[in-house]
Chains A and B, each alone.
Chain A
Amino acid sequence: MSTGIGAPVKRKEDKRFTTGKGNYTDDIRKENQAYAAFVRSPHAHAKVKGIDASAALAMDGVIEVLDGHQLTGDGIGNIICGWAVNSKDGSPMNMGAWSALATEKVRYVGDAVAVVIAETQALARIAAEAVEVDYEILPVIAHVMNAMADGAPQIHENAPGNQIYDWELGDEAATDAGLASAAHITSIDLTNNRLSPNPMEPRSAIATYDDAEEHYTLYTTSQNPHVARLVLSAFYNVAPENKLRVIAPDVGGGFGAKIYIYPEEITCLWASMKTNRSVKWTSDRAEAFITDAHGRDHVTTAKMGFDANNKIVGFKVDTVANLGAYMSLFSSSVPTYLYAPLLSGQYDIQNIHCNVRTYYTNTVPVDAYRGAGRPEATYLVERMMETAARELGMDPAELRRINFIQSFPHQTPVLMAYDAGDFPKILDMAQGSADVAGFAARKAEAATRGKLRGLGYSTFIEACGLAPSKAAGSLGAGVGLWESAEVRVNPVGSIEILTGSHSHGQGHETTFAQIVADRFDIPIEGVSIVHGDTDKVQFGMGTYGSRSAPVGMSAVVKAMDKVEAKVKKIAAHTLEASEDDIVIEGGQVKVAGTDKAMAWHEVGLAAYIAHNLPDGMEPGLKETAFFDPVNFSFPSGAFICEVEVDPDTGEVEIIQFTSADDFGTIINPLIVEGQVHGGVTQGIGQAMLEQVIYDDDGQLLTGSYMDYTMPRAADVPSYNVSHHEGSPSPNNPLGVKGCGEAGAIGSPPAVINAITDAIGNNDLAMPATPQAVWRALQAAKPVAAE
Chain B
Amino acid sequence: MYPVKYHKATSIADATAALSGGEDATLLAGGQTLLATMKQHLADPSDLVDIRSIDGMNGVTVAGDVLTIGAATTHADVAENADVQKLCPALADLASHIGDPAVRNVGTIGGSIANNDPAADYPAAMLALSATIVTNTREIAADDYFEGLFDTALEDGEIITAVKVTSPSKAAYAKFAQQASLFALVGVFVADGAGGIRVAVTGAGEDGVFRQSDMEAALASGWSDTALDGVTASEDGIMSDLHGSADYRAHLIKVMAKRAVAAA
Contact = CB atoms under 8 A, between A and B. Distances in A.
Interface in A768-786: 769-771, 774-775
Interface string A692-713: 0100000001101111111000
Interface residues of A, number: 25
A707 B251 contact: no
A91 interface: no
Interface in B166-220: 176, 179-181, 183
B245 to A, nearest CB: 7
Contacts of B40: 286, 704
With most chain B CB atoms within 10 A of its CB, the pick from A125, A129, A649 is A649
A148 interface: no
Nearest to B244: A771
Contacts of A648: 255
Nearest to B255: A648
A709 B183 CA distance: 12
Contacts of A701: 242
Interface string A745-786: 000000000000000000000000111001100000000000
A707 B245 contact: no
Given A125-B41, A775-B248, A709 B179 contact: yes
A709 B243 CA distance: 11
B163 interface: no
A762 B247 CA distance: 22
Contacts of A702: 180, 242
Given A122-B1, A649-B255, A769-B179, A774 B248 contact: yes
B248 A771 contact: yes
Interface string B240-261: 0011110010011001000000
A338 interface: no
B245 A771 contact: yes
B180 A693 contact: no
B176 A129 contact: no
B207 to A, nearest CB: 21
With most chain B CB atoms within 10 A of its CB, the pick from A689, A708, A769, A775 is A769
Contacts of B255: 648-649
A126 interface: yes
A354 B29 CA distance: 58
A125 B41 CA distance: 9
Given A125-B41, A649-B255, A705 B180 contact: yes
With most chain A CB atoms within 10 A of its CB, the pick from B2, B180, B245 is B180
Contacts of B41: 125, 129
A126 B40 CA distance: 11
Given A774-B248, A774-B251, A693 B242 contact: yes
Nearest to A775: B248
A126 B255 CA distance: 47
Contacts of B176: 649, 651, 770
Contact of B180 (A126, A651, A708): A708
B252 A649 contact: yes
Interface in A642-670: 648-649, 651
Interface in A136-158: none
Contacts of A709: 179-180
Contacts of A704: 40
Interface string B132-144: 0000000000000
A649 to B, nearest CB: 6
B252 A707 contact: no
Nearest to A774: B248
Contacts of A651: 176
A131 to B, nearest CB: 14
Contacts of A706: 180-181, 183
Nearest to A689: B179
A60 to B, nearest CB: 12
B107 to A, nearest CB: 15
Interface string A709-735: 110000000000000000000000000
A382 to B, nearest CB: 24
A774 B245 CA distance: 12
Contacts of A708: 180
B251 to A, nearest CB: 7
Contacts of A126: 2
Contacts of B180: 689, 702, 705-710
With most chain A CB atoms within 10 A of its CB, the pick from B40, B176, B179, B181 is B179
A702 B3 CA distance: 28
A706 B41 CA distance: 16
Given A122-B1, A648-B255, A707 B243 contact: yes
Contacts of B243: 707, 769, 771
Interface string B1-17: 11100000000000000
A775 B244 CA distance: 11
A708 B179 CA distance: 9
A707 B252 CA distance: 19
A589 B1 CA distance: 63
Interface of B: 1-3, 39-41, 176, 179-181, 183, 242-245, 248, 251-252, 255
Q: Please name the 6 residue pairs, one residue from A and one from B, whose CB atoms are nearest each other, closest first.
A: A709-B180, A706-B181, A709-B179, A648-B255, A771-B248, A707-B180
18 contacts: A122-B3, A125-B41, A284-B39, A648-B255, A689-B179, A701-B242, A705-B180, A705-B181, A706-B180, A706-B181, A706-B183, A707-B180, A707-B242, A709-B180, A710-B180, A771-B243, A771-B244, A771-B245
Given A706-B180, A707-B242, 10 more contacts: A122-B2, A122-B3, A125-B41, A129-B41, A286-B40, A649-B252, A651-B176, A701-B242, A709-B179, A770-B176
